[in-house]
Chains A and B, each alone.
Chain A
């Protein structure tokens, strides 16, 4: 969890605090993904607001709380997949009726949601297991797999592949190349400042899978020995592209350039209704390109007058909190930004060979159809 600034407009009017509920849910279960935690938080919101009578009241309450949740964290993409899905499910059930009750019967839907709260979590975990069972077939005997990030699904896939190959041939007969970011500072609280994915690497090595950890700079160097690239995703966007850990896009480009297939494993509750046109369009405020100069020294040399100093204009446009820890007046480079572990990039669908969700193997274009089915 990004420990960014607390939500400025923390609700004082309601006793139920969606943000803290969400956070305690995430902390209580390390296996829980953000979208599912968001859904759980919204379910307990419904539980705590018994006095709702009209449908629009319910939808307003859900929308405002979903918004509050999104505001509270730095990168709301994954989370918004969960809140969007939940809101859409409520609207759909209210309009068309469903197995939970006739159209408009909110009490029945609410009863269904409240009684089955834990079931959703169980299903989300089941989804991961199913993905692992499908996707492990991409890891053939004798192949070398490249991956990155700390995706729990990727970890499940690799372990499932190892177990299956142990069962079939007596030993895991594939190798893993794990690209880790050197500057990574773990923010999920599961191991201090060890690189993300260390837990997966340890687990795989315990299963006798040979793992090589490389820096992200060595991806191109290693690509010749790779057979398949396997990554997780924070969100799967409308055109079938993915938003994932920073560095995934360049891995995808390199894989494409070498003609290696790249597979994405992600549960279908990570499908999110955004359509990024490029890296700057993801909808996450991350100051990756932070241009700085040594302004004071430049002025001292007399090369520029203070007026012409364009750096001051940039400060005016600065949207993140100015850096005050003395490391420089103009904020940190992305390299030294403590938040860089949460940086994401967008991989366009053309680089993705297939997406594996619990519903099977999808082409990137099939993702948009799934989304269209629930939104239109």
Chain B
């Protein structure tokens, strides 16, 4: 049992002192800075819970100031840890919820804004997701999506995108009404601010209640994400296949475990030395050592009770250096990731790029399983800025190789940037997506106004 603050202690403190929002914000900023909350999932959960608190305590008169408040808090959080892209993604989702609530009220009281999904309206983008699945060449998944996705999610995606003006596309921005000509064409924010500020029907209590419902849905989504992703496992893993994986991603483990309930296959697990091998070993045996403090997804591994070997799966542990040698026998590579960028590229743990390149060399399909909250709408101009470096002590222990100390430079990157072209299929909680169609998933997830969080400020 460790006494250093972490995600659960932060969530506990949110419950204990719900009124002191500024203190909670500062605590979370410190936790992010000290890397005591790390990993996409933990950052996402912490951000969502904090923003829920912020919105509950915010005495909103109108949506404009609420959006401003969320943007300010979001700025502090992303500044605290710019390399955790999930933080800004969750902030964008929540901003989208607020904007949709504002627009929903604006559009009229005829229908209960987000829960209703009027069929047949041409601008319902949320209802487009099944055909999209077919377009990707994975129609099965699209059908499954309808079956497996809990109703709360359906309503969620449907209101994500339901609020564009009558003319949907930004291509018409050249010709459209001069209302938005004071700002950048293509961004609707001034128009929306105009709408929401002179909208008398909007009562702040209702607004914040509905926004909090929306955030609860996002939190639920984060909790159920792995189950939803795992539900596609049977379609992708077949009997007697050899699957290669890497790292300790809980999403991948649950994905494989679900397939193991029906199929017999072999898993080759690259251990991820020097940063992840302890956790990898623990993941395989199911005995996680609590002493490895501060490692990514630590509590995830703890929660992951049943290991694959207990499900009757043959697990082969290999060093990363053996990946290429074994790749010719592998049927499929299944990987987790830290974040997915707008161009389909991955920020994944170090070693993933060499696996992906080896797979490409052998024409082995590469499948990436990820929650949609890891999809980033921003285009990254400098990929290297997202590569995090770990302590060199993992590579070169001070004690044993002391004659090298001071004579060599030691670099220990924790992440790889993997080009999107190396990935064959993304599986998210919304289904399977070909890399080229990720951009449409991303446009459905976030409002275009929020793509650049900094501009909103």
A residues near B (Cβ < 8 Å) are 36, 39, 85-86, 89, 92-93, 96-100, 112-113, 116, 119-120, 122-124, 126-127, 130, 137-138, 140, 268-269, 271, 353-354, 358-366, 369-371, 373-374
10 A-B pairs with CB atoms under 8 Å apart are A113-B175, A123-B181, A269-B174, A358-B184, A359-B170, A359-B448, A363-B342, A363-B344, A364-B436, A366-B439
Contact B343 A363 (CB under 8 A): yes
Name the residue of chain B whose CB is nearest to the CB of A130.
B184
For A100, what are the chain B residues with a Cβ–Cβ distance below 8 Å?
176-177
* Segment of B56-64, B161-169, B237-245 in the binding face: B161-169
State the CA gap A331–B177 with chains docked (Å). Answer: 50
Interface centre among B165, B172, B173, B440 (most CB of A within 10 A): B172
B172 touches A354 (CB 8 A): no
Partner of A99, one of B171, B179, B344: B179
Whether A354 lies near B343 (C-beta < 8 A) is yes
**Which residue in B167, B175, B343 is a CB contact (below 8 Å) of A96?**
B167
A168 to chain B, nearest CB (A): 14
Shortest CB–CB separation between residue B138 and chain A, in angstroms?
16
Contact in complex: B177, A112 (CB < 8 Å): yes
Check if A138 sits within 8 Å of B381, measured CB to CB.
Answer: yes
**Would A373 and B171 be within 8 Å (CB), given that A138-B381, A363-B436 are in contact?**
yes
Task: Please judge, given known A-B contacts A85-B175, A363-B343, A363-B436, whether A373 and B381 are in contact too, CB under 8 Å.
Answer: no
The answer to whether residues A374 and B181 also contact, given A98-B167, A363-B343 and a CB cut-off of 8 A, is: no
A370 touches B439 (CB 8 A): no
In the bound complex, how far is the Cα of B185 from the Cα of A116, in angstroms? Answer: 14
Find out whether the CB atom of B177 lies under 8 angstroms from the CB atom of A366. Answer: no
Determine the residue in chain B with the shortest Cβ distance to A86: B175
A254 to B436, CA, bound (A): 23
Structural contact, B437 and A365, CB atoms closer than 8 A: yes
Residues B185 and A358 in contact, CB atoms below 8 Å apart: yes
Q: Which residue of B lies closest to A133 (CB)?
A: B184
Q: Chain A at the B interface: mostly helix, strand, loop or mixed?
A: helix
* Contact digits for B353-387, partner A, Cβ 8 Å, 1 yes 0 no: 00000000000000000000000000101100000
Q: How far is the CA of A374 from the CA of B168 in the complex (A)?
A: 8
Contact residues in A for B451 (Cβ distance below 8 Å)? 360
Which residues of chain B from 380 to 397 have any CB-CB distance to chain A below 8 Å in the complex? 381-382
Given contacts A99-B165, A123-B181, A373-B169, contact A85 B439 (CB under 8 A): no
CA distance A361 to B448 in the complex (A): 12
Query: Which residues of B sit under 8 angstroms from A86, Cβ to Cβ?
Result: 175
User: Which of chain B's residues has its CB closest to A350's CB?
Assistant: B421
- Assuming the contacts A96-B167, A370-B170, asked whether A362 and B439 have C-beta atoms less than 8 A apart, the reply is yes
Assembly CA distance A306 to B277 (angstroms): 81
Task: Report Cα–Cα, A137/B382, bound state, in Å.
Answer: 9
